[in-house]
Amino acid sequence: MLLHEFRPGRLIVGVTALGLAALYAGDAADAWVTPWYGVVPVLCGGLGAAALATWVAYGIRRRRSARTASSENIEAPASTSGSQDIR
């Protein structure tokens, strides 16, 4: 059982950040040269992909919770159950 819900957007942002850190680490170790302008497309692409993944996951989660709520709605409404006082 999962302790929290899966967030694909955060996973993509994390992988993008690790990739950029590896690029800069290789540049700092003189293994290769990373131009500063080469990072911008990688960062923007990673953030865009994360936003898209988050939007899709939110839509799936919302649709799933609405379907579950509609199938479990067999009890009486709260106002007729006697748990609320009418003044």
Q: Please, are residues 9 and 54 in contact by the beta-carbon 8 Å criterion?
A: yes
Encode the chain (87 residues) as per-residue pLDDT tens digits. 668 888 999 999 999 999 999 999 999 999 999 998 989 999 999 999 999 999 999 999 887 777 676 666 566 555 555 555 555
pTM: 0.69
The mean pLDDT value of the chain amounts to 84
For position 83, what pLDDT does the model report?
57
Contacts within 8 Å (CB) and 24+ apart, 63-67 = none
pLDDT at residue 64, as a whole number = 73
